Amino acid sequence: MHVTHLSLADFRSYARVEVPLDPGVTAFVGPNGQGKTNLVEAVGYLATLGSHRVSSDAPLVRMGADRAVIRAQVRQGERQQLVELELNPGKANRARINRSSQVKPRDVLGIVRTVLFAPEDLALVKGDPGERRRFLDELITARAPRMAGVRSDYERVLKQRNTLLKTAALARRHGGRSMDLSTLDVWDQHLARVGADLLAQRQDLVAAIQPLADKAYEQLAPGGGPIGLEYKPSSPGIVGHAREELYEQLIAAVAEVRKQEIERGVTLVGPHRDDLVLKLGQLPAKGYASHGESWSYALALRLASYDLLRAEGNEPVLILDDVFAELDARRRERLAELVAPGEQVLVTAAVDDDVPGVLTGTRFAVSDGAVERV
């Protein structure tokens, strides 16, 4: 798919902007702080209902405005769709598809698909497990939009279970009557059921993406690998791959830590405590890989995501935000050759020279809130 038109109202630095887009490569070029990333961030938001830079919506609304609107005309084969999201920080966001407002924001997922690579992605390698979980979860949602519902169910179950555990922990500390633990049993089952669904999807994804990431790393940094992705569950007893066995293993793992959970008042096992260990050769990349290796690793993960989504149909938009300036000439050319044939590739760069020659296409100059085709 590709986006044929992007409109923003009160999004980030833009009061209003209209950007007609072509398939193929489009580069947004302009000095720092002019609003290049803001444009591609908006496209990414339509695909994930989140920003790659901030975890809440408030910074996305233009200072002084109440709400932001992102609208995109999308083409997939012969099919045209108009998607629209209204961001209302502190209140529910609203969505429209083809001008119909009988939809929820989540229904928009799957219409715009993106793979976005940005300097922030270094955190995939160097950051906390939460960064890697988000990487996996956004990708499973791009593969299967129904997973957005599973993810939010899991968050809800976890929150309610934690509340219950906190109550139990407090009652215990204050010597009160001990809680009726049968309520907790019910929440264990919810946690295991939704958690097993999420886990099975994550493990399936890791298996699918591993060879693609290794291939991408080899292309970016020949001879530098191999790289290995190891999914690391929160408890050693969780070893299965199918949903049913994972359910049983989660139930058993939860039972094992119940005493500690009641002492501490938090849920100690489940996909919210898992990690994806990224290995470079024999060593974990985190804590061992150089800056350049970490950068190539993060990029390889994104290129692998792109390959996977392409192979599974409906090609995503590839977004490369401020990426080329970070790479040496050789890696820059390699990356450019890999991505040049994409259905739609959006690139941002501070200066023209940062955009490799093979990436010919449309250029926009971005300056002071104006986005002009050059």
Ligand X SMILES: Nc1ncnc2c1ncn2[C@@H]1O[C@H](COP(=O)(O)OP(=O)(O)O)[C@@H](O)[C@H]1O
Chain contacts with ligand X (rule: CB under 6 A): 12-13, 30, 32-38, 59, 61-63, 348
Return the one option of ligand X, Mg ion, none that residue 13 interacts with (CB less than 5 to 8 A, by type).
ligand X
Q: With respect to ligand X, which residue has the nearer C-beta, 93 or 167? A: 93
Q: Which does 344 bind (CB under 5 to 8 A by kind): ligand X, Mg ion, none?
A: none
Residue 63, binding choice from ligand X, Mg ion, none, Cβ under 5 to 8 Å by partner class: ligand X
Indicate the residue among 34 and 235 with the shorter CB distance to ligand X: 34
Nearer to ligand X (CB atom), residue 29 or residue 300: 29
Q: Which of the choices Mg ion, ligand X, none does residue 93 contact, using the CB cut-off of 5 to 8 A by kind?
A: none
Which residue, 145 or 369, is less far from ligand X as judged by CB? Answer: 369
Q: Could you tell me whether strands 344-349 and 283-284 are parallel, antiparallel, or unpaired per DSSP bridges? A: unpaired
Q: How far is the CB of 138 from Mg ion (least distance, A)?
A: 20
Task: Supply the minimum distance, in Å, between the C-beta of residue 268 and ligand X.
Answer: 38
**Sites of contact with Mg ion (CB under 5 A):** 37, 322
User: CB of 46: closest distance to Mg ion in angstroms?
Assistant: 18
Name the closest residue to Mg ion (Cβ).
37
CB of 63 to ligand X, least distance (A): 4
**Token representation of residue 216:** 């991408």
CB of 299 to ligand X, least distance (A): 18
For residues 26 and 37, which CB has a smaller minimum distance to Mg ion in the complex? 37
What is the nearest approach in angstroms of ligand X to the Cβ of residue 366? 6
Residue nearest to ligand X (CB): 37
Nearer to ligand X, 32 or 182 (CB): 32
54 within 8 A of 11, measured Cβ to Cβ: no
